[in-house]
Amino acid sequence: MCKSIIILGIESSCDDTSAAIIKNGKKLSNIIGSQKIHEKYGGVVPELASRAHQQNIVPVVHQAIKESGINKNQISAVAFTRGPGLLGSLLVGVSFAKSFGLALGIPIIDVNHMHGHILAHFIKEKNKIYNPPKFPFLCLTVSGGHTQIVKVNDYLDFELIGETIDDAAGEAFDKSAKTLGMKYPGGPLIDKYAQNGNPYAFTFGIPKVDGLNFSFSGLKTSILYFIQKNLKENPNFITHNLEDICSSIQHSIINILINKLEKASEQTRINEVAIAGGVSANSGLRKRLKQMEKTHNWKTYIPPFSYCTDNAAMIAITGYYKYLNNEFCSQEITANARLKL
Please report, as ranges, the residues that interact with Zn ion according to CB under 5 A.
Answer: 143, 310
Return the SS3 of 116. Answer: helix
Closest Cα to residue 16, out of 337, 308, 232?
308
Beta carbon nearer to ligand KG4, 110 or 174:
174
Nearer residue to Zn ion within complex by CB, 107 or 277: 277
- Residue 25: what are its φ and ψ, rounded to 5°? 85, -5
Measured between its terminal Cα atoms, the distance across the chain in Å is 36
Q: Which residues of 294-324 are buried (b: 16+ CB within 10 A; e: fewer)?
A: eeeebebbbbeeebbbbbbbbbbbbbbbbbe
DSSP annotation string for 175-190: HHHHHTTPPSS-HHHH
Gap between the Cα atoms of 241 and 79, Å rounded: 46
Binder of residue 282, out of Zn ion, ligand KG4, none (CB less than 5 to 8 A by kind): ligand KG4
**Nearer of residues 74 and 283 to ligand KG4, judged by Cβ:** 283
Beta bridge mates, 275: 140
Q: How far is the CB of 303 from ligand KG4 (least distance, A)?
A: 11
Residue 202, number of CB atoms within 10 A of its CB: 19
Q: Which does 207 bind (CB under 5 to 8 A by kind): Zn ion, ligand KG4, none?
A: none
Shortest spacing between CB 53 and Zn ion, in angstroms: 15
- Contact of residue 187 among Zn ion, ligand KG4, none (CB under 5-8 Å per partner type): ligand KG4
Q: Which is nearer to Zn ion, 15 or 244 (CB)?
A: 15
Q: By CB under 6 A, name the binding residues for ligand KG4.
A: 14, 143-145, 170, 173-174, 185, 187-188, 191, 277-279, 281-282, 309-310
The item of Zn ion, ligand KG4, none sharing an interface with residue 15, based on CB under 5 to 8 Å by kind, is none
What does the alpha-carbon distance between residue 336 and residue 333 come to, in Å, rounded to a whole number?
Answer: 9
**Shortest Å distance, C-beta 161 to ligand KG4:** 20
Q: Of 70 and 182, which CB lies nearer to ligand KG4 in the complex structure? A: 182
Q: How far is the CB of 276 from Zn ion (least distance, A)?
A: 9
